[in-house]
Chain A
């Protein structure tokens, strides 16, 4: 078999069994890996109505057919589970080297079911798999955990682990996948915590088999040249990392400021990519085999660390009115070690700050109060005092005190750093994302602000539903192959189909690649509907002026969905979602 290993490891934590299974060839072709496997396996193995923290929730760590090849950015992996933050299906993609090693161990995916009584970690070494006691790791930060495991097992391993936030079931706890890489969003770290799975250590020596080495080598030459031609990939991301976006987004007046009450931050320059580069930058880092190397290494007096990314600069900078780059670096580091998603943490604290300003909270939390922010972050991770309430995420927190309009989220997921009022397509993408308030399911900023592949009128709704649906399908494919989203600034299904053919030998075409993305998208939508996230949840917080309703109606039509937002029978049939159609039918939705 080319491209895939054709094998998954199923771990049942409740009865401590580990067994490998062969994956059906059709599933490989149609769902590819990564996020596609995530939704396929979750759909097969869970009831979408379960509680995200129940033993029945399933965590799927998966790589794709392109993982661990010479194709750039192919060291990534995805994690999928039912999210404790959104209540829907949630995948998160993580860079670094863990995916590369997981693939080299001979597996395409790990499926983790059940729940342990005592903390464990999973060790994978080629064909050897074992669950090991992790009592000594429980309570440790992500950095400490990796350090101890590295000392115990050696540096050949890559690690994925959670911090105290995941252990304490903070609804937006993340999973750390090595040095500065995180499966950040959706609270998947808390799902790991609920299963008492502290970490996964993996190493492997296999190589991905390539069907047509010669074609792949030729394709690779062209891909490298095109990356070097692309200003975003070869200039902006390489020179500034994602922090390049701070000034760009602020100048377009869509940088969320003061919990989205404003869209321009007067001190943006101070926390910009330019400032970062000038004041604290000391080097670049990359994930496995990536010429872009967008990761920053920065140095403060007392620390040399990775980051922060644009989203973090926004969520702890403009959102909280913090104008000190150094303070944001420290806050970012705190979140990374405690295992917290920075976007949701910043968004939730911003919500609390606004409520404090409105005198709704007993506790005073002033805008820009760095020490207070740090204390709140620690309290969230350990669920102490107000932190315990904020650990539920801004949606639940604000609803419980009767001020839900102050939570800037969609489907429970705090919004990323693009104010939707100034980018209509991105507003629709937020509204319809299967993850909730997310920019990675369809990055309209690329066409509405950056001009890749060309610049569309950001204030016009014309053709946006089509583009949103197309980019969502494409994102689903990229997350399933599994490659970095940043390649989307230069490449599309034309290149992806060629790569898949060269690596797997399967007859992929541009059409079948996009159809795979559409299949994955629709199955996620079906899962979410069954989990309770229906069409009514496709909405933005009332704070925003943008009216997405007309675009939403058109979007449903473009998708071939019914007026209530559920995929039509025909659509499901055309996508080959036969089994799923029956299952959904039995729920009475069709």
Chain B
């Protein structure tokens, strides 16, 4: 196998395991990648992010396909497009439940919580079937101007220069989605919504 640097594997393993611990991915869902020059190291198709093994990280090219695309995540095409169209160096994709649930009702998610609002401002909701060029283009386009994007009924992509920042964005999207759902439920239960005076 084309040699994957040990530190790349360690970093991917760390953040993949955090996503799994938070319940943002199911047994074999989600994927993550790191870019370096013309290469991308991405998690294997159907690998378990809970317990990423060294052989679960696959090296593929950014500017051309390779036979190793057969081994890499179904969403390799999306990661590749993000790197080609944005200056990001790390991409995460997970299926956090609140964000996915909200995506069925909204075309964009505007966080109610302060942190979410100030950092993310707006999270676009896009469409496209898994692994398709259409999805890749929609996600990459959204990530040109946003830190994260939700794919309707599917999951969240976040991208940044550092893996830790991408992880932070993804967690914030899910946190903001959870706040919205909780708030709507409280409103439904008869509580009155009070807008913070300073936001």
Chain A interface residues toward B at CB < 8 A: 225, 228-232, 234-237, 239-240, 243-248, 251-252, 272-274, 450-455
State in angstroms the CA–CA spacing of A575 and B58 once bound together: 43
Question: Contact at A229–B71, with CB atoms within 8 Å?
Answer: no
User: What residues on B are CB-neighbors of A228 within 8 Å?
Assistant: 129, 131-132
State in angstroms the CA–CA spacing of A252 and B1 once bound together: 6
User: Could you name 29 residue pairs across A and B whose Cβ atoms are closer than 8 Å?
Assistant: A228-B129, A228-B132, A229-B74, A231-B45, A231-B69, A231-B71, A231-B72, A231-B74, A232-B70, A235-B65, A235-B69, A235-B70, A236-B67, A236-B69, A237-B70, A240-B67, A243-B67, A244-B67, A244-B70, A248-B70, A251-B2, A273-B67, A274-B66, A450-B70, A453-B46, A454-B28, A454-B47, A454-B48, A455-B44
- B56 in the interface (beta carbon within 8 A): yes
State in angstroms the CA–CA spacing of A240 and B99 once bound together: 37
User: What residues on B are CB-neighbors of A454 within 8 Å?
Assistant: 28, 46-48
Give the secondary structure class of B's interface. loop
Question: Contact at B46–A234, with CB atoms within 8 Å?
Answer: no
Question: Contact at A451–B66, with CB atoms within 8 Å?
Answer: no
Chain B interface residues toward A at CB < 8 A: 1-2, 28, 44-48, 53, 55-56, 65-74, 76-77, 129-132
Contact pick for A455, options B56, B65, B77, CB 8 Å: B56
Question: Contact at A248–B68, with CB atoms within 8 Å?
Answer: yes
Which residue in chain B gives the minimum CB-CB distance to A248? B67
Question: Contact at B65–A225, with CB atoms within 8 Å?
Answer: no
Which residue in chain B gives the minimum CB-CB distance to A278? B64
B151 to chain A: closest CB distance in Å? Answer: 13
User: What residues on A are CB-neighbors of B46 within 8 Å?
Assistant: 451-455
Given A228-B132, A231-B72, 4 more pairs with CB closer than 8 A? A229-B130, A245-B67, A251-B2, A451-B47
Question: Contact at A272–B45, with CB atoms within 8 Å?
Answer: no
State in angstroms the CA–CA spacing of A245 and B69 once bound together: 11
Question: Contact at A246–B47, with CB atoms within 8 Å?
Answer: no
Question: Contact at A450–B129, with CB atoms within 8 Å?
Answer: no
Question: Contact at A246–B44, with CB atoms within 8 Å?
Answer: no
B29 to chain A: closest CB distance in Å? Answer: 12
State in angstroms the CA–CA spacing of A80 and B56 once bound together: 40
B97 to chain A: closest CB distance in Å? Answer: 21
User: What residues on A are CB-neighbors of B56 within 8 Å?
Assistant: 455
User: What residues on B are CB-neighbors of A234 within 8 Å?
Assistant: 131
Which residue in chain A gives the minimum CB-CB distance to B77? A235
Question: Contact at B45–A452, with CB atoms within 8 Å?
Answer: yes
State in angstroms the CA–CA spacing of A455 and B73 once bound together: 13
Which residue in chain A gives the minimum CB-CB distance to B56? A455
Which residue in chain A gives the minimum CB-CB distance to B70? A236
Question: Contact at B44–A451, with CB atoms within 8 Å?
Answer: yes
Question: Contact at A248–B71, with CB atoms within 8 Å?
Answer: yes
User: What residues on B are CB-neighbors of A229 within 8 Å?
Assistant: 74, 129-131
User: What residues on B are CB-neighbors of A450 within 8 Å?
Assistant: 70-71
B78 to chain A: closest CB distance in Å? Answer: 12
B155 to chain A: closest CB distance in Å? Answer: 14
A274-B67 contact, Cβ under 8 Å, with A225-B129, A231-B74, A231-B131: yes
State in angstroms the CA–CA spacing of A244 and B65 once bound together: 11
User: What residues on A are CB-neighbors of B2 within 8 Å?
Assistant: 251
User: What residues on B are CB-neighbors of A244 within 8 Å?
Assistant: 67, 70
Question: Contact at B74–A230, with CB atoms within 8 Å?
Answer: yes
Question: Contact at A272–B71, with CB atoms within 8 Å?
Answer: no
State in angstroms the CA–CA spacing of A245 and B66 once bound together: 11
A234 to chain B: closest CB distance in Å? Answer: 7
A455-B69 contact, Cβ under 8 Å, with A225-B129, A231-B131: no
Across the A-B interface, give the 8 residue pairs with the lowest CB-CB distance, nearest first: A236-B70, A244-B67, A251-B1, A247-B67, A232-B70, A273-B67, A229-B131, A235-B69
User: What residues on A are CB-neighbors of B132 within 8 Å?
Assistant: 228
Which residue in chain B gives the minimum CB-CB distance to A453? B46
